[in-house]
């Protein structure tokens, strides 16, 4: 594709060989000289945001990323095994690509796995919410609800969040994975 066709959300393989997702783009046609496209893009490898200017007719390699729903099965050492529910194909993903998902990882839950060219795993995204069990929290005091306070609670995955005072050990709570906050008791 040519740089003129870039749009927000497009994923490209840049000159340095890394994958970048276009966040913003500006097409500019100055009075003198050729047109150019200025983009702000995020590196999918390390999350850094850079700005870059392409000549309008410059060739850019588009990266084709496939996003599949996969079920998390189990952990095998430093590898995590996911299965495609329609084809029963299993994929092992190393811990380095799982760091952001680990606090929300529940067996038999569906996650979104992004693949480059159908084979290389880029990332794993959790669903919008997951249900986790409270394994450790302080008991709520009677009468402490006037201010609608909260207390810390440790969940089954090791994640520590703030929960309302009425939540106790053994309760299952629904967590928003985008913000890491309590939604409701499940």
Q: Identify the structural domains of the chain with CATH numbers, from first to last.
A: 3-62 (2.30.30.30), 65-125 (2.40.50.140), 129-185 (2.40.50.140)
Q: Are 44 and 20 in contact (CB under 8 A)?
A: yes
Q: Which residue in 121, 66, 73 sits closest to 97, CA to CA? A: 121
Tens of pLDDT, residues 106-137: 889 899 888 887 777 888 888 888 999 999 88
Q: Rounded to an integer, what distance in angstroms lies between the CA atom of residue 163 and that of residue 149? A: 9
Please state the pTM of the whole predicted model: 0.69
pLDDT of residue 174: 92
């Amino acid at each position: 594709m040519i740089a003129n066709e870039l749009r927000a959300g497009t994923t490209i393989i840049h000159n340095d060989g890394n994958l970048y997702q276009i966040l913003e783009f500006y097409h500019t046609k100055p009075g003198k000289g050729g047109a150019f496209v200025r983009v702000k893009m995020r590196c999918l490898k390390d999350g850094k945001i850079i700005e870059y200017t392409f000549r309008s007719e410059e060739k850019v390699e588009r990266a084709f990323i496939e996003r599949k729903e996969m079920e998390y099965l189990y952990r095998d050492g430093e590898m995590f095994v996911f299965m495609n529910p329609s084809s029963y194909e299993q994929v092992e993903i190393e811990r380095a690509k799982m760091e952001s998902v680990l606090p929300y990882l529940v067996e038999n839950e569906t996650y979104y796995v992004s693949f480059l060219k159908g084979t290389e795993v880029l990332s794993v995204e959790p669903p919008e919410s997951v249900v986790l069990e409270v394994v450790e929290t302080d008991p709520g005091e009677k009468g402490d609800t006037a201010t609608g306070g909260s207390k810390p609670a440790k969940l089954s995955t090791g994640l520590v969040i703030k929960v309302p005072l009425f939540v106790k050990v053994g309760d299952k709570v629904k967590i928003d994975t985008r913000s890491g906050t309590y939604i409701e008791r499940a």
